[in-house]
Amino acid sequence: MAESATAHRSEESLMLGGMARWDGIDFFGARYMSTAYRKRSGEIFVRVDPVSVWRPENLTVRRISGWPIIRSFFFWGQLLVQVGGSVWTLAYFVGSIAALWLIVRVLELGSGLGSLGGFLGFLADFPMLPLLVLFFAAMKLTATGRYHGAEHKAVAAYEKYGEVTMEKARASSRIHPRCGTNILIYIVIAAALEPIVPWWWYSIAQFILISELWFTFGRSRPSIAVGNLLQRYFTTSEPTSRELEVAVASINRLLEAEGGDPSVEIGTRVRIPARY
């Protein structure tokens, strides 16, 4: 199935999202999400589950949810629900928070080490810098970056051709304008302000700042250009056939579920024959 053209564009194309992991990919559609991973044995497994994100149907509520500031609460709330819907995604999120806390604690403890302490103290005030270095290293030196590239290629193939095959995905770009990498610049801006903003509640308010900057400037050419640069050199790598096969299998399974294919067993892990 991973090799064949099983997913065709419906009357209205889906807006698909995804998240790469070290061993696979999560894809998110309008009603369902797919979780795919490759075991060490080479076997590919895909599971499709309903998306638990709440979307307002009332026209008035929908308009209010698009107002500045309020839209940020909806954005982060939906993100938390989405993260909680996948065990692997939740583990990745919790791990990132734990890594940030650990880095800050280590840097704070080292801030009293003579001349080196001043530098470590600076990094403790701006923990986003060492965290970004570790994040970029993990993306480029592990399979996560290749799965991230495979995720983009699969989505790009669907958006361009209306179907996803190995050939079409391989020919597609690993750089995508809707990638979450594009929000990194706004995270850095918000994090840089934290040491100089005296308000204790800024640790919460910065999330609103990040999303509002994203909503306001995220689709601008400079923002997309910076995001594309980060994707090309830091957060994605060219996938091998092994990562691409997982992405193709996952997205096709998701599209089948979104299209109402009765053969898709929701909530059941399915083994997909692997060729690579």
pLDDT of 39 higher than 90: yes
pLDDT of 2 higher than 50: no
Helix, strand, coil percent values for the chain (each to nearest 5)? 60, 10, 30
Selected residue with higher pLDDT from 249 and 114? 249
Per-residue confidence at 34, pLDDT binned at 50, 70, 90?
Answer: very high
Put residue 35 in one of left, alpha, beta given phi > 0 → left and psi -120 to 50 → alpha. Answer: beta
* CA 212/CA 218 separation, integer angstroms: 9
Per-residue confidence at 43, pLDDT binned at 50, 70, 90?
Answer: very high
| Phi, psi of 195, rounded to the nearest 5 degrees | -65, -20
* CA 127/CA 276 separation, integer angstroms: 40
Percent of the chain with pLDDT strictly greater than 90: 56
Q: Considering just the CA atoms, what is the radius of gyration of the chain in Å?
A: 20
Q: What is the pLDDT of residues 45-81, one digit of tens each?
A: 999 999 877 777 889 998 999 999 999 998 888 777 7
pLDDT the model gives residue 83 = 63
* CA 180/CA 19 separation, integer angstroms: 9
